[in-house]
Amino acid sequence: MSVMEPILPVVVIDSPDAAEGLGRALLAGGIRQVEVTLRTAEALPALRILASVPGLRAGAGTVLTADQVHAAVEAGAEFVVSPGLDEGVVAACQRYGVPAIPGVVTATELMRARSLGLRTVKFFPAEQAGGVAAVSALSAVFADMAFVPTGGIGADRAAVYAALPSVVAVGGSWMVPRDAVASGQFARIEALCRQAVEVFQ
């Protein structure tokens, strides 16, 4: 997914009422993309609203089935992120023409992703699965693969991942805390986004 930007906020959203304010806070903080995880009953309605915010690229995360791919694309998702590699999910994304970013940890999973025509994968759960050292080791062997490390990464570790040439984006929720989203603390989210952008610059 070559148009991906360096920071990918991973959002768990409990009410679509928060979606528009969240989208505006992300943009005001200098971030133009968001992954809405399909972990709550209101995720798809929220995704639909975020996908309609001008200038914001919205995708779906925690996508586990081909049916969820269909629902996410119908809601406006421009990319699909999964915690693992499922060929049915990848095939559905390819049918709809949206990028699939499956989660991988091992060289075997990377080889499967590569054989499916993918060149960008999520390394998940990043911190628990070996962190920067693991991404570096895999990158040395799979030089044509790009990584989006996600999982357990906070503001203090994000820049270390971003410094790796094979990393195209770092995913995380440190700039979009679930409690801040739920309570409408959009000024706080904007400030956290600004701080994240400054670190990456």
Active site residues: 35, 122
Residue 32, CA distances (Å) to 12, 44, 59, 109, 165 in order = 17, 19, 11, 29, 21
Number of Cβ within a 10 Å radius of residue 73: 19
Q: What CA–CA distance (Å, rounded) separates 68 from 53?
A: 22
Residue 71 CA, distance from chain mean position: 17
Q: What CA–CA distance (Å, rounded) separates 163 from 185?
A: 30
> Which single residue is written with the structure tokens 């095939």?
91
